[in-house]
């Protein structure tokens, strides 16, 4: 969870979409242990502008 001002310690991923421009995402993953070959990852919009600009196809 982020601080009161909304800042988090998650790494940012920047992606440029051809129609809406720069999108900012926070990257996180779930580590399931040494024996697991599965490591799910998520990209979550890092700000309101990115969330509003996401194409409906996502």
* pLDDT, position 4: 45
Task: Convert the pLDDT of each residue in 3-54 to its tens digit.
Answer: 445 556 778 999 998 888 899 999 998 888 888 888 898 989 999 999 998 8
Q: Which domain holds residue 43?
A: 12-53
Place of tokens 């310690």: 9
pTM, two decimals, is 0.66
Tokens standing for residue 44:
């979550």
Residue 28 resides in a domain: yes
Residue 40 resides in a domain: yes
Place of tokens 């998650």: 10
* pLDDT, position 58: 57
* pLDDT, position 7: 59
* pLDDT, position 3: 46
Number of domains in the chain: 1
Residue 6 resides in a domain: no
Residue 43 resides in a domain: yes
At 2 the three-state DSSP class reads coil
Residue 10 exposed, middle or buried by CB count within 10 Å (0-12, 13-18, 19+): middle
Tokens standing for residue 29:
């993953």
* pLDDT, position 22: 92
């Amino acid at each position: 969870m982020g601080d009161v001002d909304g800042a988090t310690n998650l790494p940012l991923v920047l992606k440029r979409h051809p129609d809406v421009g720069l999108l900012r995402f926070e990257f996180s993953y779930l580590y399931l242990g040494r024996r697991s070959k599965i490591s799910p990852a998520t990209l979550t919009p890092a700000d309101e502008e990115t969330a509003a600009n996401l194409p409906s196809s996502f």
